[in-house]
Amino acid sequence: MDSIIEISLVLLKGIKVTLIVLFFSIIFSTVIALVAGLSRSSSNLLLNKFTGFYVEIFRGTSLIVQLFWFSYALPGLFNIHLGSDIWAGILAISLNYGAYMSEIVRGSIAAVAPGQTEASIALNMSKFQRMRMVILPQAVRMMLPEYGNYLIQILKATSLVSLIGLTDILYYGDIYRSTHLSEAPIVYLLVLIFYFILALPLIAFTRKMEKVSKKGVAHG
């Protein structure tokens, strides 16, 4: 029992970094996903192809490879130093999940029934008004459950930043384990429980959104 408390206190030291990486990765990847998803739904061919290229590159390679690339290769190659490794981690996770999530944005926009666009043309709305008032509100409802699932994926992905030396929950777990080898089972079990506790609100959000998305959408 004592060791559970002791280990938990050690792991708590890492929660700040995990939460910072999680928070900024969610913000950035959401913005990227919306911009990229709208670009891919646009009729501007150049914008469309360029965004498609970005999406395929980041979906086609592995997040952990991207993470190492941003933290080891990028600084050397372009002499870009992202200040600290935390930004390399956030950037890699955001670009990776931004690419994945842009596909739900694009898919949801495409899934809104064509009759909705026709009705808004018949009411003489402009292209921008059609997107803002009719298509996007319905598309967003459709994407929410999957968005929730991706938030959980992002939480899991934050554990990778320990590999580039950031002091997150897993990092402190590893440190503790390296000096208390026989306590490894309890250490990693507690690390898992920490992540699960952080995931619970995201799981609840996803469940709620599944209910919300069933209402107020005309599927195409």
Partner 1 sequence: MTWSWEVFFEVIPIIFKGMWITLGLTIACYLFAVVFGFFWLLLDRVPLKAFRWMIKWTTEFIRSTPPLVQLFFIFYAWPMVPVVGVSLNPFTAAILGLGIHFSTYLSEVYRSGIEAVDKGQWEAATALNLSTQQKWLKVILPQAIPPTIPMLGNYLIIMFKEVPLASTIGVVAMLHLANDYGAQYYKYVEPLTVVALFFLLLSYPSALLIKKLEMKFNRRFDKKYITES
Partner 2 sequence: MSEPIAKYRDVHKSFGDVEVLKGIDLDIGPAEKVALIGPSGSGKTTIIRLLMTLENPTSGTIEVNGKNLWHMESKNGLVPANEKYLREVRGDIGMVFQHFNLFPHMTILENCMTAPIHVKKESKASARKRSLEMLEKVGLGDKVDLYPSQLSGGQKQRVAMARALVMRPKIMLFDEVTSALDPELVGEVLEVIRDLAKEGDMAMILVTHEMDFALDIADRVLFLNDGVIEADGPPSEIIGNPQSERLKDFLSRFTSSNYSHS
Binding site for partner 2 (CB under 8 A): 113, 115-116, 118-127, 129, 133-134, 137-138, 141, 215-218
Which amino acid type is present at position 18?
T
Return d(Cα 35, Cα 41) in angstroms, integer: 10
Q: What are phi and psi of 126, to 5 degrees?
A: -80, 165
If one asks whether residue 142 binds partner 1 (CB under 8 A), the answer comes out as: no
Which amino acid type is present at position 87?
W
Write down the H helix ranges in the chain. Answer: 2-41, 45-60, 63-68, 74-78, 85-111, 114-122, 127-129, 136-158, 169-179, 184-213
If one asks whether residue 80 binds partner 1 (CB under 8 A), the answer comes out as: no
Rounded to the nearest whole angstrom, what is the least distance from the CB of residue 215 to partner 1 in the complex?
Answer: 20
Site for partner 1 in 167-206 (CB under 8 A): 170, 173-174, 177, 181-185, 187-189, 191-192, 195-196, 199, 202-203
What lies within 8 Å, CB to CB, of 143 at 6+ separation is 104, 105, 107, 108, 213
If one asks whether residue 31 binds partner 1 (CB under 8 A), the answer comes out as: no
Of 110 and 121, nearer to partner 1 (C-beta) is: 110
Which amino acid type is present at position 54?
Y
Using CB under 8 A, list all residues that contact partner 1. Answer: 56-57, 59-66, 68-69, 72-73, 76-77, 152, 155-160, 162-163, 170, 173-174, 177, 181-185, 187-189, 191-192, 195-196, 199, 202-203
